[in-house]
Each structure stands twice: as C-alpha cells, then as structure tokens.
Structure 1
Amino acid sequence: MEIIKIHHPIDNNFKNNNKCVLAMGYFDGIHLGHQKVIEKAKEIAIKKNLDLAILTYDHKPSIVYKQISSHERRSITLNDYKMKLFKNLGVKKVFLVNYSFDFQNQSPIEFVNNYLIRFNVDTVVAGVDHTYGSKDADMKNMIGYSDGRFDVCAVDLSSFNDKKISSTAVRHNLDQGDIKTVNNLLGRPFKTLGLVVHGLARGRELGYPTANIEHSEFQWLPSIGIYVVNITIGDKTYNGMASIGRNVTFGDKNPITVEINILDFDHNIYGENVSIDWLYRIRGEVKFDGVDTLINQLSMDEKFTRDFFNKKRG
C-alpha cells in the first residue's frame, strides 16, 4: 500500500496516473460504518478493475474549527494502526492530507478541482453526512461539483445494523468502560499500541507482576478500571488482566498508569513494543483498606480472567 503525504496547496507537479475509486473520511476507529463505506468503494473498484484509494487526514479536522481539550484531541485509532487496517481492507493507495485552515478554507469546487480531479478519481464514496470544508460541501452537492467528471456514491449509515454506529459512540463507550459495546461497534477488539517501561514494581511485591505500558498522549484509552486483555509481544499473544488507574490504595495523587499482569508469564520485556486487545471490563478501581484485601481482590480478578479465556476456548 502506498501512502502519499500531502500539504496544502498541493504541489503543481502532483499527478496520480492510475484512475481510482476514492473513499473519503477521517475514519477515526474504522468502525463498522467506516468499513461499510470502504467495502462499498472496494466493490466498485473491483467491478471497474480500478485501484481502491483513501483520502484521509493526519489529525482531527475539529482542531481547525475550535479549541478542544487534550482529551478530545485523542484518537481511537492512531495513524500507524489506521494504515495497517486500511491495508487489510484492500486499499492500494492512501492520500494523507494535512488538515489545515487553508485546506478547509477552499470552496467546494476548489477542493474538487485541486484534489479529486488530480487524484484521477472515477468514483468518490463517503457517508451521506461527510463534509469537506464549507457549509455547502456535502455529498448531496458533490454531484453538481463533479460536473459529470466522476461518479458519486453516498453510503447511508443511519440504520446500519439497526443501531447508531459512529466514532462519537465508540469514544463515549470507551469513556464508560463498555468495551463489549466498543468491540461490537468496531467489529473487532479495541486495540492500543504501547511501549513497556519501568514502573514502581508494586505488582511484583503483591505477587502480581505487571508490565507497565506507556501510550501515546494522543491515544484514546478505556476508562479507569480492571480489564481482560490479550497482549501481543513480537509474534506471540498472551492472556492478561489490565489495570487503568491511579493505584488509589497506595495514595490519592498517583498518575494514571496502564499495567498488565500477563498470566503464566515470567520474562523481562522492558523496551518491547506491544499491542493490547481490550476484551472485557471486570470492574472499576477500588480503594482497599489494606494490601491483604487488595491481594484477595486480585486473586478473584485472576480467576475471572482465566474463566473468561477458558469459556472463550470452549
């Protein structure tokens, strides 16, 4: 898959030689609705024997329109993983545009002429509510802007699978810790990528050693709580239970950390880049009266986690 990074204004010498079917969107999360848009574009591309391409952005468009909090700047799917998902969906080319004020300030016809025509599009595909700049820049008006130069396909996602599927819904359920719903909306386990770093080693002292995972500040994480997870190190995947929280039993002012106790595992993995599949939320974080009570709860969490995987295998 080819990734072409573009800064507005697009270079005068830019030219895409092969005609393509283009799916447009930020695609945060690449949830089932996004997948429906991309699959529709893929269906057309196969039928016409053309390349499947994506137009997407290097960060959230909302950054250009308003002040947003550091929490809101986070993404469900960071770009590296998003590109991997695109490739798995059969995408041949990604036009990765820096979404700036100047880019969004184009008139709809300027956007069409500057980008879609130069991308050599045969068909443009997006959700019916997709916009690309000004008030009149929507899929309904795209047909007029195309002036017969390419086809337009707007995919209606309003009643997809009889439920509202959106990036907003995914983020809301992540904030609620409802991983089951998140995974249903995504059509796959919610995944994060991180680096194993040193922590305070409290888990080892309790008999539950943990891998401390450092995430990008732009990664949206589930809410504070205890979770069943899979963690992949290299090409091997292990079962584990994860904690997102402040370790409140040991103080009220601790920073939020992500720690994973990997079941039946004893190996030094500091410095490893890992991926985590979040599978189920066991409970919220609790401040215990003492270490013994905490250890007892961890034992119950471990039993729940083992039972979860045993049922899954069964």
Structure 2
Amino acid sequence: MEVIKIHHPINENLEFKNKCVLAMGFFDGVHLGHQKVINKAKNIADKKGLDLAILTYNHKPAVVYKQLDSHESRYLTLYNQKMSLFKNLGVNKVFLVSYTFDFQNQSPEEFVNNYLITFNVDTVVAGVDHTYGDKKANMDILPEYANGKFNVESVDLDNLNENKISSTAIRHNLDQGDIKTVNELLGRPFRTNGMVVHGLARGRELGYPTANIQHDEVQWLPNIGIYVVKVFIGGKKYRGMASIGRNVTFGNKNPITVEINILDFDHNIYGEDLSIDWLYRIRGEVKFNGINSLINQLKDDEKFTRNFFDKNNE
C-alpha cells in the first residue's frame, strides 16, 4: 500500500495517470460504518479493475476550528494502526493530507478541482454526513461539483443494535467502560499499543505481577476499571487481566496507570512493544480496606478471566 503525503496547496505538477475509486473520511476507529464506506468503494474498484484509494487527514479536522482539551485531542486509532487496517481492507493507495486552515478554506469547487480531479478519480465514495470545503458542502451536492467528471456514491452508516455507528459513540462507550458495545461498533476488539516500562512492582508483592504499559499520550483508552484482555508480544498471544486506575488502595493521589497481569507468564519483557485487545470490563476500581481483601478480589478477577476465555474459546 502506497501512502502519499500532501501539504496544501497541492503540488500543481502532481499527476496520477491511473484512475482510482476514492473513499473519503477521517476514519478514526475504522469502525463498521467506515468499513461499509471502504468496502463499497472496493466493490466498485474491483468491478472496474481500478485501484482503491483513501483520502484522509493527518489529524482531526476539529483542530483547525476549535480548541481541544487533552481528552478531545486523543484518537481511537493512531497512524500505524489506521494504515494497517486500511491495508487489511484492500486499500492500494492513501492520500494523507495535512489538514490546515488553508486546506479547509477552499471552496467546494476548489477542493474538487485541486484534489479529486488531480487524483484522477472515477468514483468518490463517502458517508452521507461527510462534508468538504469552506461551506461544509455535503455529499448530496457533490454531483453538481463533479459536473460529470466522476461518479458519486453516498453510504448510509446505519445503526447496530439501536446504537449509532460513529466514532463519537465509540468514544462515549469507552468513557463508560462499555467495551462490549465498543467492540460491536468496531466489528473487532478495540486495540491499543504500548511499551512495557517499570512500575512500583506492587503486583509482584501481591502474587499478581503486572506489566506496566506506557501508551502514546494521544491514545484514547477505556475508562478506569478491570478488564479481560488479549496481549500480543512478538507475534505470540496471551491471556491477561488489565487494570486502568489509580491504585486507590495504596493512596488517593496516584496517577492513572495501565497494568496487565499476563496469565501463566513469567518472563522479563521490559522494553517490549505489545498490543492489547480489550475484550470485557469485569468491574470498576475499588478501594479495599486491606491487602488481603485486594488479593481475594484479584483471585476472583483471575477466575472470571479464565472462565471468559474458556467460554469464548479464546
């Protein structure tokens, strides 16, 4: 898969001789709605024997028109994971545009002429709510701007089990700790990537050693709680139970950490990069009266985790 990085104004000498079918969107999460758009574009591309291309952006468009707090500045899928998901969906080419004020300030006509015509598109596909240009033009009027130079297909993103399929809905459910709904909307387990770093080693003292995971600061994480997770290290898969929280049993002013007890595992993995699939929220964080109460709860959590994997043949 080829990734073509573009800064506005687009290079006037840029030329693409082969026509393509283009899916447009930011695609944070690459959820079932996004997949519907991309798969629609892929079906058209396959029928016509053309490349499947994506037009997406290097960061959230909202960065240009409003101030985002530290939470709003986070992403469901960071760059490497998003590109990997695109590749798995059969994308041949990604136009990665730097989303700036000048880019957004184009009129819809300028956007079409500068980008869609330059990309030599045969067909443009996007969700019905996709907008473009300074006037926030919608997909209904894109055929007018196309003026017969390319085809336009709009895709209804639908609902799933009465839940709207959207990145906003997924972020909301992550903030609620509702991993079950998150994974349903994604059509796969929610995945994060991080590196194993040193912590305070309290888990080892309790008989439940944990890997402390350092995530990118812009990675959106599930809410505080205890979770069933799958962990991938060096191509191997392991069962685990994860804690996102402040370790409140040991004090009220601790920072939020991500710690994973990998079941049936005893190996030094400091410095390893690993992937985490978040599968189920067992419970919220509890402040226990003593160490023994905490250990008894950890035993119950371990039992739940093992039963979860056995029941689901994971």
Note whether the superposition's TM-score is higher than 0.5: yes
Secondary structure in 2 aligned to 1:313?
coil
1:162–1:296 CA distance, 2 compared to 1 (3 A): closer
Are 1:209 and 2:203 matched, yes or no? no
CA–CA separation in structure 2 for the residues paired with 1:108 and 1:76: 28
Contact 1:33 1:160 in 2 (8 A): no
Contact 1:4 1:94 in 2 (8 A): yes
Are 1:73 and 2:73 matched, yes or no? yes
1:301 corresponds in structure 2 to: 301
Name the amino acid aligned to 1:313: N
Name the amino acid aligned to 2:241: M
CA–CA separation in structure 2 for the residues paired with 1:298 and 1:17: 60
Name the amino acid aligned to 2:309: F
- Could you report, residue by residue, the CA deviation over 1:189-244 in whole angstroms, capped at 9, with x for unpaired residues? 00001011111101001100000000001100000000000000011010000000
1:49 corresponds in structure 2 to: 49
What's the CA shift for 1:61? Answer: 0.5
> TM-score, length-normalised on structure 2?
0.98
1:136–1:178 CA distance, 2 compared to 1 (3 A): closer
Question: What pairs up with 1:71-220 in 2 under 5 angstroms?
Answer: 71-159=71-159, 163-220=163-220
CA–CA separation in structure 2 for the residues paired with 1:91 and 1:192: 22
- Could you report, residue by residue, the CA deviation over 1:69-116 in whole angstroms, capped at 9, with x for unpaired residues? 110010111111000000000000000111111100000000001101
Unpaired stretches in structure 2, ≥5 consecutive residues: none
Name the amino acid aligned to 1:16: F
Secondary structure in 2 aligned to 1:300?
helix
1:159–1:273 CA distance, 2 compared to 1 (3 A): closer
CA–CA separation in structure 1 for the residues paired with 2:158 and 2:208: 46
CA–CA separation in structure 2 for the residues paired with 1:196 and 1:159: 37
1:161–1:126 CA distance, 2 compared to 1 (3 A): farther
Are 1:285 and 2:262 matched, yes or no? no
CA–CA separation in structure 1 for the residues paired with 2:241 and 2:77: 22
1:254–1:160 CA distance, 2 compared to 1 (3 A): closer
What's the CA shift for 1:260? Answer: 0.2
Contact 2:33 2:158 in 1 (8 A): no
Name the amino acid aligned to 2:245: G
What's the CA shift for 1:17? Answer: 2.1
Are 1:13 and 2:13 matched, yes or no? yes
CA–CA separation in structure 2 for the residues paired with 1:161 and 1:213: 33
Secondary structure in 2 aligned to 1:208?
coil
Please give the root-mean-square deviation of Cα atoms over the aligned residues, in Å.
1.1
- Could you report, residue by residue, the CA deviation over 1:16-42 in whole angstroms, capped at 9, with x for unpaired residues? 221100000000101100000000000
CA–CA separation in structure 2 for the residues paired with 1:267 and 1:225: 25
Identity of aligned residues (%): 75
1:267 corresponds in structure 2 to: 267
CA–CA separation in structure 1 for the residues paired with 2:242 and 2:45: 42
Secondary structure in 1 aligned to 2:294?
helix
CA–CA separation in structure 1 for the residues paired with 2:55 and 2:39: 15
What's the CA shift for 1:160? Answer: 6.0
Contact 2:31 2:165 in 1 (8 A): yes
Secondary structure in 2 aligned to 1:288?
coil
Higher mean C-alpha deviation, range 129-138 or range 229-238: 129-138
Are 1:256 and 2:256 matched, yes or no? yes
Contact 1:203 1:209 in 2 (8 A): yes
Number of residues paired by the alignment?
A: 314
Unpaired stretches in structure 1, ≥5 consecutive residues: none
- Could you report, residue by residue, the CA deviation over 1:157-205 in whole angstroms, capped at 9, with x for unpaired residues? 2446654110010000000000000000000000001011111101001
What's the CA shift for 1:156? Answer: 1.3
Secondary structure in 1 aligned to 2:276?
strand
